[in-house]
């Protein structure tokens, strides 16, 4: 399922914060957080952007909470980039199972189980 176009900019800002924070590029991370904060102010002023306002508020609140709890390095990407990350992780998992000689039926079963257990799909 693809992310609606109206959320892509907010998701991109949030994901750049997450990536930079994980890479210990704190200044760059906070620049993206600041832009996200300013974008949040922009969408609050425009009544037509209620969906973006809610989505931006949620992502910004997630960052603030993670910073307060000292868990910002454990934030996950969001949107399309998160879906791509999940696909890469599942592909690596399936490749590892193939290397140890598991059958394709077992690999598919484990992959589907992992999707529902860890990723909620």
Domain boundaries, the chain: 5-77, 80-119
Tell me the per-residue pLDDT of 45-73, one tens digit each, with 9 for 90 and over: 888 888 889 999 999 999 999 999 999 99
* Confidence (pLDDT) at 93: 93
8 Å CB contact between 15 and 77: yes
Q: Taking residues 114-119, report their average pLDDT.
A: 81
Rounded distance between C-alpha atoms, residue 106 and residue 100, angstroms = 12
pTM, 2 dp: 0.83
Statement: residue 3 has pLDDT above 70 = no
In angstroms, what CA-CA distances link 89 with 83, 92, 96? 10, 5, 11
Rounded distance between C-alpha atoms, residue 120 and residue 116, angstroms = 4
Statement: residue 33 has pLDDT above 70 = yes
Q: Which two tokens stand for residue 101?
A: 């000689």
DSSP 78: -
Per the listing, tokens 């890479």 go with: 23
Statement: residue 40 has pLDDT above 70 = yes
Q: Which two tokens stand for residue 16?
A: 């750049």
User: How many helices, marked H, and strands, marked E, lie in the chain?
Assistant: 5, 0
* Confidence (pLDDT) at 56: 94
Rounded distance between C-alpha atoms, residue 108 and residue 61, angstroms = 37
Neighbouring C-beta atoms of residue 79, cutoff 10 Å = 19
Q: Taking residues 92-98, report their average pLDDT.
A: 93
What Rg do the C-alpha atoms of the chain give, in angstroms? 18
Statement: residue 89 has pLDDT above 80 = yes
């Amino acid at each position: 399922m693809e992310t609606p176009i109206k959320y892509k900019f907010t998701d991109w800002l949030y994901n750049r914060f997450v990536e930079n924070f994980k890479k210990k590029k704190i200044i760059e991370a906070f620049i993206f957080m600041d832009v996200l904060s300013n974008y949040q102010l922009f969408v609050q002023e425009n009544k037509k952007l209620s969906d973006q306002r809610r989505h931006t508020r949620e992502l910004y609140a997630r960052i603030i909470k993670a910073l307060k709890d000292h868990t910002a390095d454990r934030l996950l990407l969001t949107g399309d980039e998160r879906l791509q990350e999940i696909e890469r992780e599942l592909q690596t998992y399936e490749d590892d199972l193939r290397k140890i000689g598991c059958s394709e039926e077992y690999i598919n079963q484990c992959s589907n189980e992992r999707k529902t257990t860890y990723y909620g799909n």
